Structure 1
């Protein structure tokens, strides 16, 4: 009976103690003084970080081919065309440094230094996202971690930009990122290894790779491979092999490292392995003889970037929620973006994102706008917002010349927890407000102000089975779109005298991820689209606004390094217009709420995106 090589390598576990098969190791480059070594893409060369000799390009036998003088430790690389982007720690300057290496020409480029930090940096690792942005993670003492944007494609930035802080284990020293799955893995010496989402817009959370129930185990350096991880235990001189399966990691086997007293550094290239013994300072090589099963990565969605962003809102936490776009009737460039702060009131911004007005009227959630409302003897534009303090509709007049907002009254509702709001204005000219509550109830009011005081008449009521929020009305086709957060998007007749028969537009599934949040209509002479905030995967779905509601794809709002604007994530509300507002908004404007403000980290805000970029990203007809 033949026994597979893998079976021979599998560790035996008895009463919590691991007995591992030996991994055959041979000394490598005995004269090389290096604290860290990594394989380069061509597999015949290595890069070493030395506290005495600097950064060294060496051949497969350890012979020097090129040098960048200095005192360096910690090392990570990413291939970039014909070049290699290198990250290391400059021990003299106590700063992280990035540098291009042309391995063929055997030359190093100009270094890019991160600013000095206010904490000791123990280690670092690189991450390249699906849009080819290059980041470096810094692992510091006492749980301090940071993510910095350092390049794009094969080009390093002139100046690194701090993206966010990342709370890490207090005794972390090592990290690695799997670019394909966006997983950052960090060690915690006497606890185990943790995985974090690496994308800068991701929620800060961690999941265990392996947590110890054996006091003799320690977590050291690690090396990632497609679908798996090889990790060092420096105290027991063992390698632990992990398979990544969905949300879980499973330890497959362990390998002993004979002759090594304190293995510290680890590098992997396919089955080739390099490890450093910190006790002797010597380097060893071996063949792993194990390969993980690759994990299917999520599809990479196209990205667009915001060209402007609003000033951050004036309240901490989950505050900004829903935008609306008010169009100036004569000078579109003077249009305004309204935004709700559900801890404060209504905000008004110009098209560069500068705050122009604050109306501290309470916890406003959603807002919508329609033009030409008769307020007594005056014609104004009207903004209506859902007021969670009073379970009412808060109304605001908008001066059609100056754009100034003023409070215009309040309409009470019987809703116990008012949530979303949208307006409907058929060609006949009357104006309706459609509000919903967290229990699924929708109330439709006819708004009027014959004596200058706004009043609302309840004209229709209907209900969905679970919590809704976002809604938008197609005035031309008299159709209302509503979002049921965990279910999907429905279409219903917007007319008050018609039955509220629900027609499915799209259900939560592979393309639309709960929660279903903001809804908006892009309406042009050529085509009408429904834009949906797919909050569960930080994306935006574009669907035909007419049956059969064909899906044109999803996109994300990514960072704009040149403008210093981060991407958008966890979006609640959004709004879009197809009108020419001038400049970058000549083909329309998309505004999305950003639930996680990065670069720098501040209170939430709104991102302004040219619609033309969405058209190109999704190749819209």
Structure 2
């Protein structure tokens, strides 16, 4: 195993310079005329119960899912989702809730009730002499990671998740509690488990173009983290017309990243910078030069922030920019479908137009096509998707794999119109996506390195 650690924060500017060198090439590579890409519609008749952002609903707002695959009994696999101030929810494969966990105060002297933003699964993590599977969660209100062991019985367990976060874990991006209150804290998250036994979380910072890695370790009878290393991604982009583009953001914020997924076979991180596009970032930081895989459609359109409307508006309404064809800002959730060998597909939520873009994991990560998800049999269409999760494993009712995606607003027939801000998650059979776009399918456990 390569034992080089990610870049320290003090070296972040050097890494940023490398990224900036790559950015003009990525921007200039966009064609002057848009080329059509294959587009498909797939369906879903399976969605979780609505979450509501009101007092009765515990201020629950759905955001990001993760799929835990049971090693022997596919029907006992579970879907774990974040509900922000509403904590976590656990669903079975029939989209029924089997557990609800509140966003409790973090186990620290100055801990406050949490806000759980993103979640991913780490398999076979050492804890108290055993190997356990763990849901790793980003907690925005405490700027840290939270850890929950997964009962091996999965959906059949009385309590599938139990928190095992060690006490007094360090802030990820903040020097002190007062700074945590400014909200530029732990946001997007993905697990990285390179060969050799080390386990890492990759985390983004809300309101800033920062990425960090943290090594997951056993400490004090629970799980914590150490070796936090960070790097800064670009917030300014030279364009081929000689101008420099700065994505328009609210004052005091930078172009943040959220959706993340690591190709466990290659150690490549795919990261969605919401107003910019999809990045390819070799891990550890500094091992290679990050590059833009694709850009959002309005990449390069010069905007100004209007404080009255709190919106960004183009300086020139006729400015077409230099963007790609597939992603309508925000670029959000990211995950990988593992096929045979090195083949696979990166799926990205194109939140701005309610679609999903699919790229190859090989070569130059070419765009394969896009799709949208239409609801049938009383289930609503998927709109404004944030997080998503994919498994190639056959799980109950989905013999070729499963895609789970966030849906906001949730407008299905079971939504109470008198409640506030309904959100939910929809289950999509991967075979529909594969058939529609001509993708390779593999359901072998050996082809999913997450199940090491």
Same-fold status (TM-score > 0.5): yes
Query: What are the superposed Cα offsets for residues 399-421 of structure 1, whole Å, 9 maximum, x if unpaired?
Result: 22345100111543242322111
Whichever structure has more strand as a proportion of its residues is: 1
- Matching residue within 390, 396, 403 for 1:576: 390
Aligned partners of 1:523 and 1:578 also within 8 Å: yes
Q: How far apart are the structure 2 equivalents of 1:530 and 1:434?
A: 17
Please tell me the root mean square deviation across aligned C-alpha atoms, in Å: 2.0
- Identify the structure with bigger relative contact order (alpha carbons < 8 Å, sequence gap 6+): 2
1:43-442 maps to which residues of 2 (within 5 A)? 301-316=39-54, 319-361=61-103, 362-402=114-154, 404-409=160-165, 411-415=169-173, 416-437=184-205, 438-442=207-211
Aligned partners of 2:84 and 2:116 also within 8 Å: yes
Aligned to 2:300: none
Aligned to 1:607: 426
3-state DSSP of counterpart to 1:548: coil
Aligned to 2:336: 521
> 1:363 offset after TM fit, Å?
1.3
Q: How far apart are the structure 2 equivalents of 1:556 and 1:569?
A: 9
Relative distance call for 1:450 and 1:506 in structure 2 (3 A) is: same
User: Is residue 531 of structure 1 aligned with residue 343 of structure 2?
Assistant: no
Whichever structure has more helix as a proportion of its residues is: 2
Relative distance call for 1:500 and 1:421 in structure 2 (3 A) is: farther
Aligned partners of 1:377 and 1:452 also within 8 Å: no
TM-score, with structure 1 as normaliser:
0.50
Aligned to 1:472: 261
Query: What are the superposed Cα offsets for residues 142-192 of structure 1, whole Å, 9 maximum, x if unpaired?
Result: xxxxxxxxxxxxxxxxxxxxxxxxxxxxxxxxxxxxxxxxxxxxxxxxxxx
Q: Which runs of 5+ in 2 are unaligned?
A: 1-35, 104-113, 174-183, 236-254, 298-324, 417-421, 441-452
Aligned to 1:463: 232
Aligned to 2:409: 596
Q: How far apart are the structure 1 equivalents of 2:204 and 2:78?
A: 26
Aligned to 1:453: 222
Aligned partners of 1:424 and 1:494 also within 8 Å: no
Q: How far apart are the structure 2 equivalents of 1:428 and 1:529?
A: 25
Q: How far apart are the structure 2 equivalents of 1:593 and 1:311?
A: 12
3-state DSSP of counterpart to 2:336: strand
Aligned partners of 1:462 and 1:500 also within 8 Å: no
Q: How far apart are the structure 1 equivalents of 2:439 and 2:64?
A: 25
> 1:592 offset after TM fit, Å?
0.4
> 1:449 offset after TM fit, Å?
0.6
Aligned partners of 2:402 and 2:428 also within 8 Å: yes
> 1:307 offset after TM fit, Å?
3.0
Aligned partners of 2:172 and 2:228 also within 8 Å: no
> 1:364 offset after TM fit, Å?
0.5
Deviates more, 1:449-458 or 1:601-610: 449-458
Q: Which runs of 5+ in 1 are unaligned?
A: 1-297
> 1:555 offset after TM fit, Å?
0.5
> 1:314 offset after TM fit, Å?
4.5
Aligned partners of 2:118 and 2:137 also within 8 Å: yes
Q: How far apart are the structure 1 equivalents of 2:220 and 2:339?
A: 36
> 1:452 offset after TM fit, Å?
2.2
Q: How far apart are the structure 2 equivalents of 1:341 and 1:402?
A: 20
Aligned to 1:502: 290
3-state DSSP of counterpart to 2:64: strand
Q: How far apart are the structure 2 equivalents of 1:439 and 1:577?
A: 30
Aligned to 1:618: 437
Count of residues in correspondence between the two structures: 320
Aligned partners of 2:119 and 2:136 also within 8 Å: yes
> 1:499 offset after TM fit, Å?
3.7
TM-score, with structure 2 as normaliser:
0.67
Q: How far apart are the structure 1 equivalents of 2:76 and 2:274?
A: 34
Relative distance call for 1:318 and 1:348 in structure 2 (3 A) is: closer
Aligned partners of 1:486 and 1:516 also within 8 Å: yes
> 1:426 offset after TM fit, Å?
1.0
Aligned partners of 2:67 and 2:78 also within 8 Å: yes
Query: What are the superposed Cα offsets for residues 547-587 of structure 1, whole Å, 9 maximum, x if unpaired?
Result: 21111110101121xx311110101100011111132x100
3-state DSSP of counterpart to 1:449: strand
> 1:453 offset after TM fit, Å?
2.0
Relative distance call for 1:520 and 1:299 in structure 2 (3 A) is: closer
